[in-house]
């Protein structure tokens, strides 16, 4: 905007920079920040910082990003001074400042960019989460956890598909469509002039999610349940269960679109959060009550647990073997696998490992992205090898 005072431009630039970093700043906040300069004299770093934080910040998890951006902003504006009409002017009263000029400038600038600043609470930038993507979930602060949860909402889950027995027309199909060929020939006086083809229809494989929410998994449970929610929202044929000392089906709760309401519903249903661990009994209950219903049609089963079994390890071995035989693919996710020099020597983990098709970590945001890629390219045949299926 030609003719705008330098400080006005610096204010606008700062607001634009914050928006570029993912901070949800609306028009009213921008105007309030600009308006605050009519009350700040002198323009000290502390006064400007307090004004910016009071008017532009309404979510504590953005504070670290805000502080770094403000430090850069202040360094840039050090050489830019507001023009003064009288250098020897006495200390001004608020009504003496050119309030309408700065406020109207900010309002006009914000209004022109209204479409750009309609940022929802779920907005997350790569810049903000990049430094968090390899930080273990168990070590996240509350603010960092909220940032990761917002980033997780943006993951698009794709999944392996299976061929059904139903056929569909396809120019590149491998099978000849004899009936269609005869119908077309009949319309042409009995002459076959082309050979139509068909192929089997494909459908996303059923997915079964089973998570350990016992005491040893407490620091990972919230993230795991949000992972369950994201997958359940995007993939239709999904069943979800959690267990500590007992198995609980949470499929219906995870179908709620609002993630917080969904997880609150789960917490109301589950009575054994952060307690003991009976993996074998829980898997046995799953197979007995739900196996025939949810393991049909080549289902993929994902179990998330650190393998700290407090029950009979031999029983767990038999249950893992039976589960692997009943499903298309058994994937075991262990947050401890992300630790350096980890070896599966705890009670239970070593017993089930021979029957696990894919043994992968789930300890940070990067491991979730790798899991997304892994699920999208599962082998077409049962028991087939897949890239990076084992981390040991």
Q: Which of 28-37, 269-278, 296-305, 337-346 has the lowest mean pLDDT?
A: 28-37
Tell me: pLDDT of 7 over 80.
no
CATH at residue 366: 3.40.50.410
Rounded CA gap, 5 and 83, in Å?
A: 8
Dump the DSSP string for 317-372.
Answer: HHHHHHHHHHSSEEEEEEGGGGSTT----STBHHHHGGG-SEEEE-SSHHHHHHHH
In a domain, 388, yes or no: no
What single-letter DSSP state applies at residue 275? Answer: S
Q: Which residue has the higher pLDDT, 129 or 368?
A: 368
Task: Return the structure tokens found at 89.
Answer: 């002017």
Which residue is listed with tokens 């998330």? 304
- Inter-residue contact 29 to 56 (CB < 8 Å): yes
Q: Quick one: 186 and 95 in the same domain?
A: no
Cβ-Cβ contacts under 8 Å for 225 (sequence gap 6 or more): 211, 213, 242, 263, 266
E strand spans, the chain: 161-169, 175-176, 197-204, 207-212, 238-243, 247-249, 300-304, 329-334, 358-361
In a domain, 390, yes or no: no
Which residue is listed with tokens 């016992």? 214
Q: Quick one: 194 and 210 in the same domain?
A: no
Q: Going by DSSP bridges, is the β-strand pair 358-361/329-334 parallel, antiparallel, or unpaired?
A: parallel
Q: Quick one: 371 and 276 in the same domain?
A: yes
Q: Quick one: 236 and 190 in the same domain?
A: no
Task: Write the pLDDT tens digit of every residue in 185-194.
Answer: 677 777 776 6
In a domain, 237, yes or no: yes
In a domain, 132, yes or no: no
Rounded CA gap, 264 and 120, in Å?
A: 22
Q: Quick one: 338 and 255 in the same domain?
A: yes
Per the confidence metrics, is the pTM higher than 0.95? Answer: no
Rounded CA gap, 5 and 11, in Å?
A: 10
Q: Quick one: 222 and 102 in the same domain?
A: no
Q: What is the mean pLDDT of residues 287-313?
A: 92
Q: Quick one: 197 and 209 in the same domain?
A: no
Cβ-Cβ contacts under 8 Å for 125 (sequence gap 6 or more): 20, 21, 22
Q: Quick one: 181 and 235 in the same domain?
A: no
In a domain, 129, yes or no: no
The separation between the first and the last C-alpha atoms of the chain, rounded to the nearest angstrom, is 60
Cβ-Cβ contacts under 8 Å for 84 (sequence gap 6 or more): none
State what percent of residues in the chain have pLDDT above 70.
69
In a domain, 55, yes or no: yes
Task: Write the pLDDT tens digit of every residue in 38-76.
Answer: 666 667 788 888 888 888 877 666 788 888 888 888 877
In a domain, 382, yes or no: no
Rounded CA gap, 329 and 60, in Å?
A: 42
Most confidently modeled of 13-27, 87-101, 170-184, 347-361?
Answer: 347-361
Q: Quick one: 329 and 262 in the same domain?
A: yes
Q: Quick one: 305 and 265 in the same domain?
A: yes
In a domain, 143, yes or no: no
Q: What is the mean pLDDT of residues 16-37?
A: 74
- Inter-residue contact 206 to 300 (CB < 8 Å): yes
- Inter-residue contact 235 to 247 (CB < 8 Å): no
Q: Of 152, 175, 203, which residue is a domain's last? A: 203
Domain that holds residue 93: 6-119
Q: Quick one: 219 and 290 in the same domain?
A: yes
Task: Return the structure tokens found at 79.
Answer: 């050489």
Q: Of 84, 99, 119, which residue is a domain's last? A: 119
What is the band of 103 on the pLDDT scale with cuts at 50, 70, 90? very low
How many domains is the chain partitioned into structurally? 3
Q: Quick one: 236 and 333 in the same domain?
A: yes
Q: What is the mean pLDDT of residues 134-155?
A: 87
């Amino acid at each position: 905007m030609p003719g705008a005072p330098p400080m006005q431009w610096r204010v606008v630039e700062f607001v634009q920079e914050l928006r570029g970093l993912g901070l949800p700043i609306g028009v009213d906040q921008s105007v309030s920040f600009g308006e605050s300069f009519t009350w700040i004299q002198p323009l000290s770093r502390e006064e400007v910082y307090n004004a910016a934080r009071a008017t532009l910040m309404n979510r504590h998890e953005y504070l670290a990003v805000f502080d770094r951006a403000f430090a850069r902003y202040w360094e840039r504006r050090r050489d830019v001074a507001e023009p003064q009409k009288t250098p020897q002017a006495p200390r001004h009263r608020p009504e003496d400042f050119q309030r309408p000029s700065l406020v109207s400038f900010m309002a006009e600038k914000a209004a022109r960019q209204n479409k750009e600043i309609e940022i929802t609470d779920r907005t997350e930038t790569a810049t903000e989460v990049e430094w968090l993507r390899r930080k273990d979930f168990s070590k996240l602060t509350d603010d960092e956890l909220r940032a990761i949860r917002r980033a997780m909402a943006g993951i698009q889950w794709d999944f392996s598909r299976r061929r059904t027995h139903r056929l569909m027309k396809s120019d590149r199909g491998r099978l000849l469509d004899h009936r269609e060929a005869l119908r077309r020939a009949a319309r042409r006086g009995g002459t076959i002039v082309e050979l139509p083809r068909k192929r089997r229809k494909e459908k996303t494989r059923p997915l079964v999610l089973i998570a350990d929410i016992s005491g040893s998994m407490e620091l990972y449970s919230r993230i795991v349940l949000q992972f369950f929610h994201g997958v359940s929202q995007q993939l239709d044929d999904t069943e979800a269960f959690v267990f500590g000392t007992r198995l609980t089906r949470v499929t219906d709760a995870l179908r709620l679109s609002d993630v917080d309401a969904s997880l609150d519903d789960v917490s109301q249903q589950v009575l054994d959060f952060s307690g003991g661990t009976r993996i074998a009994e829980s898997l046995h209950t799953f197979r007995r009550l739900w196996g025939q219903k949810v393991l049909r049609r080549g289902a993929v089963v994902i179990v998330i647990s650190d393998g700290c079994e407090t029950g009979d390890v031999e029983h767990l071995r038999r249950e893992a073997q039976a589960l692997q035989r009943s499903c298309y693919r058994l994937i075991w996710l262990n947050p401890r696998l992300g630790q350096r020099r980890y070896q599966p020597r705890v009670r239970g983990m070593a017993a089930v490992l021979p029957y696990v098709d894919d043994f992968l970590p789930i300890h940070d945001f990067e491991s979730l992205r790798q899991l997304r890629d892994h699920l999208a390219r599962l082998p077409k045949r049962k028991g087939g090898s897949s890239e990076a299926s084992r981390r040991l």
